[in-house]
Amino acid sequence: MLRLFARLILRPLKSEPARALLTAFAVALGVAVVLAIDLAGEAAAGSFRSSVETLTGDADLEITAVGGIPEAVYGQLATLPVALRLKVRLEDYATLSGGGPDKGAVVPLIGIDVVADALELGITSEAGPVPDKDSVWVSEGLGLKAGDSIALQIQDQPGTYRVGGVFKQKGKIIVADIGLAQRLVRRPGRLDRILVWVPPARTVDEWQQQLQQQMPAGVTVALQGARTQENRRMLEAFRWNLRVLSYIALVVGAFLIYNTISVSVVRRRSEIGILRALGATRGAILAAFLGEAAVFGVVGGAVGLLLGRVMAEGAVQLLGATVESLYVSSRPAAIEINAVSALLAFTIGISISVLSAWSPAREAAGVPPTEAMARGRSDYLARVHQRRDLLLAVVLAVLAFVASQQPPVAGKPFGGYAAALLLIGAGAMAIPAMVDGINRLSSRLLLRLGGVEAMLASRSLSASLRRTSVLVGALATAIAMMVSVGIMVGSFRQTVLIWMDNQLKADIYLRPAGTASADRFPTFDAALPDRIAALPEVRAVDRFRAYPISYNGLPATLAGGETQVVELGGGAQFMSGDRASIMRRLPTCRCVIISEPFANKHHLTTGDSVTLPFGRFEIIGVYYDYANERGYIIMDRRTLLKYLPDPAPSNLAVWVKPGVDLDQAKLAVERAAQGSNVAVFANRSLRVEAIKIFDRTFAITYALEAVAIIVAVMGIAGALLALVIDRKRELGLLRFLGATTGQVRKLILCEAGLLGLLANVAGFLLGLALSLILVFVINKQSFGWTIQFHWPVAVLTGALSLVYVATLLAGLYPAHIATRLNPIEVVHEE
Amino acid sequence: MDTILIRFERVSKDYLADGEPVHALRELSLDVAPGQFVALMGRSGCGKSTLLNMAGAMDLPSSGRVLLDGQDTLHLDDAGLTKLRREKVGFVFQSFQLLANLTVAENVELPLLLAGGASARERAREALGWVELDGYEARLPHQLSGGQMQRVAIARAVVHAPKLLLADEPIGNLDTATGDLILKLLRRIVTERGTTILMATHSPESVVVCDQIVRLRDGRIEAVETRDAR
Amino acid sequence: MIERIPSRLSRRQLLAMLPMAAAGAEAKPPAWRKALPGYRYQFPRDHFSHPEFQTEWWYYTGNVSTPEGRPFGFELTFFRQGIDPVRSENVWAVDQVYLAHLALSDIQGQRFHHYERLNRSGPGLAGIDPERQRIWNGNWQMEWRNGDQHLTAIAPEFNLRMALHSGKPPVIHGRDGISQKSPGEGRASHYISFTRLLAQGELELAGQTLKLAGTAWMDHEIFTNHLGDQLSGWDWLSLQLANGTELMVYRLRRKDGSIEPLSHGTFVDAAGRARGLTLDEFSFMPSGRTWNRYPLEWRVKVPSLGIDLEVSTPMENQQLVSTNRFSPSYWEGAVRVKGQPGPGVGYLEMTGYDRALTI
């Protein structure tokens, strides 16, 4: 058996190392992408905890409250006659505003009770555990020493602080005493979290219930990790979609394995026949070819594991950016590669390889011992089966349609995924007929357009129809993914642009400077908006304040705006209901409006109500929103202040008086904001920034597409190489018949070009169908956004051209090999 | 018009096969006049194929020179050699070497197309007529018998009216009766079109159609016999 | 720095090392009030906080046992240390810090449990509230109710609740309202004790609730640090004798091995009358066995009162081992006495033995 394997499989592999390597590498890339997305997703979703927590270990319970916990709760808990261990936290971010390589970096700023915790944490100044005024403690990762000074921007305030001491911690983190932290982040009297360790006398759940009863309204006691769980849940759909997207690269890899094994089988048909005649069993033949696939799987898995680890680093950066702008501040955890990831890599690599090889290996096993028939039979069969395959394609397409109409399961669009997969299957089934049909129809045309080489290329592709179809299928799948995501993103982008036109009506927008994130709402000095409102250039100011909250186990954003001011310009577009009357009611009623993603996530609509920690509020409207995926609950500012009386706003929108020069007004606003570190955007530049964030969000999908395309193009290169080797006699003959080496090169490039063209056509059509599923099913069910369909013509044209050029380039090496063939040797007859 | 179509001047051909030097031709000289049907005879490995390849400008001598219609093949680059081939040489092979994906007509017109010719289809039809395969244009090679395939191959070899036709064991894969037909066809080409044929063969019966028999042994000419085949 | 501290140094070493304590003491010496002669005591006011002084503590120790006779010793101490004499309105200001120690000596089980905690007053974390007659640090507290002092201490391994009823009025140590620690104005403290508190309460330990009864001692000392720099440690002893009298003696050890001449003691007779003892009136010397360099056996003699007692401990390890680098370890535990004028129980504190007291 081993000798059989060596003779039938290993030796041929060795004789064509380039092609074997290409195939293995294609598998490796597929595995790597899946692994990278998995690892990176885990890392990006894994660390919502501050790294100070790693010093104290995991608490049992966490106490939080919308708008912060009244600090008295800490005293109340501390004096309870229960042996609780308590840690209080104020959590925010500071921007390093000094010089040096870290300038502009956003680092966690953690307020702790230094007096109570210092001894345990080892956070101590040189002199002792009592905080100096305006001193902060820094982690070793910041490379500072006690007595240095550090420039930080916190909220909108720049300042310089003394480094009171350094504590052992690798990352970059700043710790301040709670009193200083409250002042700096402008949350007087409030704590963000109280971590609680409970004694073992009762279960954690019992303690949770008991403590909850003693908390004032609005304060929540939850099991430790609940917040992380919530964030993970929120990210789940996002990660699922990425994961599915990453599988596409794997599907492309599967096509290529299928192709490679098919080529092996076709080439060694007579050899298989001889071996069978010599007594090899069907099972042995089957096992040998599956073994070949498994070799690719193992090599691909091993390389993919390493590659995936490397790619995960990059992916984490991209993912982190997306997560930040759409969901929640996260500091990516270290990427951890362990036995599970290794197992995953090999399992994926081997199973995808063996599965894809199953059909050709079975065909090999079916070769009768007498077989010594020439190449061409299976291709002939492929042509015969076209009709049946076409029918199957139609059936699959219908099934895809049915699947796409299914509701989401547990918030995940499995119907959409199934529809996408079925559509790809339908495409794969329809492609042979398409390739054959196009080739037949275009043969004479090609002769006229591209000369004899094009005609020969077309014939050759058509002759090895099965092989060609698989290649076209692989590349078409990658292209389809690119096209569909391209259309989806393009549509989304256009939708957002239109939405911004409606939504962003003010002239000038302000927020505290620094990196934006979906769950971070740094505030202004409450006096700033009044100063701005008093400017002669200014007509009105909308003070917007947002709080990150948890709603039914999912993170969300609660915010208040000045309805009457917002009404100046128009503003939100509602899914239903009359906006004028909604906006009229909002300031006075005990009611809210909610964003579309929030409505979808919690299955709420106009007329329902939301239950907040401080009461129930009627939903009087659902508005379109594309700002982030967390979802908004918005009330009038006055209503919000009634329950959360902190007047500091987190965003300001400024309307300028008619006739006032906008630049002049912006200057005036900037002058009024002097002393605060504030980002001031004219309407236009805010939109530019918003679109920049939008584009950054999709960076990861572009990266995934690129990998799928690379895998496919590599497959094309490998397959063309195989075609060259299989047809070397024919290519040599052409030289006898008067072909120049240039003509031979052109012939191969024509084949590459034809493959690219066919794949582009098939991929475009398939991609168009997939984009409908993406836009109207997967996206809608996963994220709850209504997206208008738009054609991103320029992007698509560019991308398709790029892929086309890439396939041509993929033909260069095989073409070079073809021209190097010695015609005498390859035509030599014995 | 020269009286010599192809001239071998002290041609040697050495190459390495599996690291061992092989002397395929040793200082071989031979002149072939236009309109001659020359048979090259000898055992396998005696240098017949090497000689044919050199005559067809597919291969170049290690020393000495080959003049094809007065042109020294050593003085031509790849493009020049291809041009020479396109204009003056046709090849016929033992195993026909038809392109399986192309129809009979497409196979035949291929040399014209590769040479950039335009009215290929008409000339292909003519050539097929010449080998008595009218009406077979749209067939695919696998639908033909061996003799038919070789006739298509011959049509392909003469479609561009070459002065020299090189045939490497053209009847080696055919039964005797079919082989005789092919030999007659080749003779007709020499006689009616004035084409020169160099045919490698080791079947004694095939020499009946030839004007000259060149016997090769170990890369050297052992004997040259001339006979009247008309 | 350590050398300037008059007594009960160990628990305050932590405080003494606080940078602000030093800065406060040195940069703003006039801001803190000194313990000077002629102080007019007034109760219950003087049972509570004196924030104009830098340092203050309330110190409870006791020997108690279950009805079956299982003996325990306990210690609960509340410290207040001024960091900045200027009071701040900010809840989180660190103008005062509060330290507390809790220890339980399970003599039968020979297990010693001890904890410490540090807090600022914060949002009700620790403090002294004369209105509610309460002194607390987290969930360790002393509360006056109906003239009794109620102690509550919650720890991971045990909960202790004690009601302390004083059979005698408070004793004011020293002369003219001050207990002079070394020569010089202000190098003294206001030092108040309840020398015989009848203790009754409950201990929850290892899933059991034990009834406890016995006697306890309370020290309340108020001062601003001003002492010489020759101290290496001290030994302090309080005794409650079966005949209804109490004795407190301490000696301040100097680096040269001599004893500070101002070291003194107090004798309280059965009627509650206190009498000060100067160093030449008593002797207080180690007399034998040691454990980890701590002398565990002592001899106390007051010839004028006919007192000659041998002091020993029922449990060797009553050392409060420091878990941080700011406070040193010290020994503080229950002791037994026998001799003239009869048996008794008490508490012994020894500092400066575990390591060199340098900073």
Residues A35-79: tens digit of each pLDDT: 888 888 777 665 555 555 555 667 889 898 888 899 999 999 999
Nearest to A700 by CA among A423, A424, A324, A233: A324
pLDDT of residue C106: 96
B138 vs A: CB within 8 A: no
Mutate to test the interface with A, among C14, C15, C92, C326 (most CBs of A within 10 A): C92
Q: C94, A131: Cβ pair inside 8 Å?
A: yes
Q: Given a cut of 90, is residue C257 above it in pLDDT?
A: no
- Provide the pLDDT for residue A123: 54
Mean pLDDT rounded to a whole number for chain A: 83
| Distance in angstroms (rounded) separating the CA atoms of residues B151 and B156 | 8
Tally C-beta pairs within 8 A across A and B.
64
Verify whether the Cβ–Cβ distance A447 to B115 is below 8 Å: no
Share of chain A above pLDDT 90, in %: 15
Find, among C249, C277, C264, the residue nearest to C182 by Cα: C264
What backbone torsions phi and psi does residue A296 show, to the nearest 5 degrees? Answer: -60, -40
Nearest chain C CA: its distance from A215 CA (Å): 15
Q: How far is B176 from chain A (nearest CA, A)?
A: 20
Q: What percent of chain C has pLDDT over 90?
A: 64
pLDDT digits (tens, 9 = 90+) for B43-67: 888 888 889 999 988 889 999 999 9
Residue A21: what pLDDT?
84
Task: Take residue C110 and report the two structure tokens written for it.
Answer: 């020979």
In contact, A350 and A64? CB cutoff 8 Å: no
Buried b (16+ CB within 10 A) or exposed e, A369-389: eebeeeeeebbeebbeebeeb
Q: Which residue has the higher pLDDT, B100 or A215?
A: A215
Average pLDDT along chain C:
86
Lowest-pLDDT range, A508-522, A719-733, C257-271?
A: A508-522
Q: Among the CATH numbers 3.40.50.300, 3.40.50.720, 3.20.20.70, 3.40.228.10, which is that of B6-226?
A: 3.40.50.300
Is B38 a residue whose pLDDT tops 90?
Answer: yes
Query: Among all residues of chain A, which has the CA nearest to that of C23?
Result: A127
* pLDDT for the residue A46: 57
Using only C-alpha atoms, chain B has a radius of gyration, in whole angstroms, of 17
Best of C91, C104, C159, C321 to mutate (most A CBs within 10 Å, chain A): C91
- Give the model's pLDDT for residue A694: 81
Q: Is residue C359 part of a domain?
A: no
Task: Determine the pLDDT at residue A129.
Answer: 54
- Above 80 in pLDDT, residue B213? yes
Phi-psi region of A147 (alpha: psi -120 to 50; beta: other; left: phi over 0): left
- pLDDT higher for A154 or A465? A154
Whether A372 shows a pLDDT value over 50: the answer reads: no
Specify the amino acid at residue A250.
L
Look up residue B34 and give its DSSP letter: T
| Residue A331: per-residue pLDDT | 63
Q: What's the CATH number where C330 sits?
A: 2.40.370.10
Buried/exposed C168-183: b ≥16 CB within 10 Å, e otherwise: bebbbbbeebbbbbbe
3-state helix, strand, coil in chain C (%, to 5): 10, 50, 40
Q: How far apart are CA A440 and CA A458, in angstroms?
A: 8
Rounded (5°) CA angle B119-B125-B129: 145
ipTM value: 0.92
| CA pair distance A752, A783, nearest whole angstrom | 39
CA distance C221 to A143: 45
DSSP code string of A87-104: EEEEEEEEEE-SSSTTTT
Helix (H, G, I), strand (E, B) or coil at C118: strand
Question: What is the per-residue pLDDT for A78?
Answer: 94
Contact yes or no for A130 and C326 at CB 8 A: no
When mean pLDDT is compared across A178-182, A325-329, A618-622, the lowest value belongs to A325-329
| A829/B101 Cβ within 8 A | no
Q: In this structure, are residues B28 and B77 in contact, taking their beta carbons and an 8 Å threshold?
A: no
Query: What phi and psi, each to the nearest 5 degrees, are found at residue B72?
Result: -80, 115
| pLDDT tens by residue, A757-813 | 888 999 999 999 999 998 888 888 887 788 888 888 888 898 889 889 988 998 998
Q: Which residues of C touch A128 (CB under 8 A)?
A: 17-20, 326
> In the predicted model, what is the mean pLDDT of residues A108-115?
87
C163 found inside a domain = yes
Q: Nearest CA of chain C to the CA of A226: how many Å?
A: 25
Confidence band (pLDDT; 50, 70, 90) for C255? confident
Q: CB C19 to CB A127 under 8 A?
A: yes
N- to C-terminal Cα separation, chain C: 8
In this predicted model, which residue has the larger pLDDT, B166 or C290?
Answer: B166
Nearest Cα residue in chain A from C207: A201
Q: Is the Cβ of B3 closer than 8 Å to some Cβ of chain A?
A: no
B170, B149 in Cβ contact below 8 A? no
**What is the residue-wise DSSP string for A23-81?**
HHHHHHHHHHHHHHHHHHHHHHHH--S-THHHHH---SEEEEETT-EETHHHHHHHTSS
**Banded model confidence at residue C167, pLDDT cuts 50, 70, 90:** confident
pLDDT band at residue A88 under the 50/70/90 scheme: very high
Buried b (16+ CB within 10 A) or exposed e, A110-147: bbbbbbbbbbebbbbbebbbbbbebbbbbbebbebebe
The confidence score (pLDDT) of residue A829 equals 57
Q: With bands split at pLDDT 50, 70 and 90, how would you rate the model's confidence at C198?
A: very high
Region C132-152 average pLDDT = 95
Whether residue C38 lies inside any domain: the answer is no
Q: Which pLDDT score is estimated for C4?
A: 27
Q: How far apart are CA C186 and CA A753, in angstroms?
A: 100
Q: B146-187: per-residue pLDDT in tens?
A: 899 999 999 999 999 999 999 999 988 889 899 999 999 999
Q: Are A691 and A533 in contact (CB under 8 A)?
A: no
Chain A residues with CB under 8 Å of a chain B CB are 376, 447, 451-452, 455-456, 459-460, 462-463, 729-730, 733-741, 743, 823-824, 827-829
The model's confidence at residue C164, banded by pLDDT at 50, 70 and 90, is very high
The mean per-residue pLDDT over the stretch B93-98 comes to 88
* Residue A503 confidence (pLDDT): 79
- Beta carbons of A71 and C90 less than 8 Å apart: no
Residue A58, pLDDT score: 77
Listed residue (C279, C292, C332, C283) closest to C310, CA to CA: C283
pLDDT score for B1 = 46
Taking CB atoms and an 8 Å cut-off, how many pairs form between chains A and C?
Answer: 85
CB nearest to A115's CB, from C17, C94, C123: C94
- C136 and A CB contact within 8 Å: yes
Mean pLDDT in residue range C324-351: 87
Nearest CA in chain A to C141: A79
B163 touches chain A (CB under 8 A): no
Task: Give residue-wise pLDDT tens across range C201-224.
Answer: 999 998 899 999 999 999 999 988
Task: Considering only residues A411 and C261, tell me which one the structure prediction assigns the higher pLDDT.
Answer: C261
Closest of A542, A546, A543 to residue A521, by C-alpha: A546
The pLDDT score that the predictor gives to residue C149 is 97
Separation of alpha carbons B106 and B112, rounded Å: 10
Distance in angstroms (rounded) separating the CA atoms of residues B11 and B13: 7
User: Which run of H or E residues covers position C276?
Assistant: strand C274-278
Phi, psi of C32, rounded to the nearest 5 degrees: -90, 140
Angle made by CA atoms B204, B208, B209, in degrees to the nearest 5:
125
- CB A782 within 8 Å of CB A240: yes
User: CB–CB of A82 and C155 under 8 A?
Assistant: no
pLDDT of residue C5: 31
Question: Closest chain B residue to A827 measured between Cα atoms?
Answer: B97
To the nearest 5 percent, what fractions of chain A are helix, strand and coil?
60, 15, 25
CB C309 within 8 A of CB C299: yes
Helix, strand, or coil (residue A106): strand
Looking at residue C358, its pLDDT comes to 34
pLDDT for the residue A265: 79
What type of residue is A88?
Answer: V
Q: Is C121 on the interface with A (CB under 8 A)?
A: no
From C97, C141, C152, residue closest to A115, measured CB to CB: C97
Place C1 in a pLDDT band, splitting at 50, 70 and 90. Answer: very low
Q: How many domains does chain C have?
A: 1
Name residue A505's beta-bridge partners. none
Contact assignment for C90 to A179 by CB distance below 8 Å: yes
> Would an 8 Å CB–CB cutoff place B110 in contact with chain A?
yes
Of A737, A824, A828, the CB nearest to B114: A737
pLDDT score at A41:
78
Residue B48 Cα distances to A83, A514, B54, B203, angstroms? 104, 84, 10, 13
Nearest CA in chain A to C153: A81
Test B113 with A452 for CB contact under 8 angstroms: yes
Contact present, C6 and C190 (Cβ < 8 Å): no
- Domain containing C308 equals 2-32+43-350
Look at B82 and A462 and tell me if their CB atoms are within 8 Å: no
Chain A positions touching B59 (Cβ under 8 A) are 824
The pairing of strands A106-112 and A174-177 is parallel
Q: What are the phi and psi torsion angles at C92 (to 5°)?
A: -95, 5
Rounded Cα distance, A820 and B171, in Å: 30
Touching status, chains B and A (3+ beta-carbon pairs under 8 Å): yes
Residue A210, classified by CB atoms within 10 Å of its CB into exposed (0-12), middle (13-18) or buried (19+), is: middle
- Arithmetic mean of pLDDT, A359-378: 66
| C144: its two tokens | 């006056």
How many residues are given for chain B?
Answer: 230
| Cβ <8 Å between A179 and C156 | no
The token pair that represents A93 in the structure block: 């971010």
CB within 8 Å: A823 and B113: no
Contact A483, A799 (CB under 8 A): yes
Amino acid at A535: L
CB contact under 8 Å between C92 and A178, yes or no, is yes
- Asked if the Cβ–Cβ distance from B110 to A452 is below 8 Å, we say yes
Q: Does C338 score more than 60 pLDDT?
A: yes
Predicted confidence (pLDDT) per residue in A485-520, tens digit: 888 888 888 888 888 888 788 889 888 876 667 777
Cβ <8 Å between A736 and B85: yes
Looking at chain C, which subunits does it touch, using at least 3 CB pairs closer than 8 Å as the criterion?
A
Rounded CA separation B152/B131 (Å): 7
Chain centre to alpha carbon of residue C262: 19
C1 touches chain A (CB under 8 A): no
Average pLDDT over residues C86-95: 85
Q: From CA B175, how far away is CA B183, in angstroms rounded?
A: 12
C27: pLDDT strictly greater than 50? no
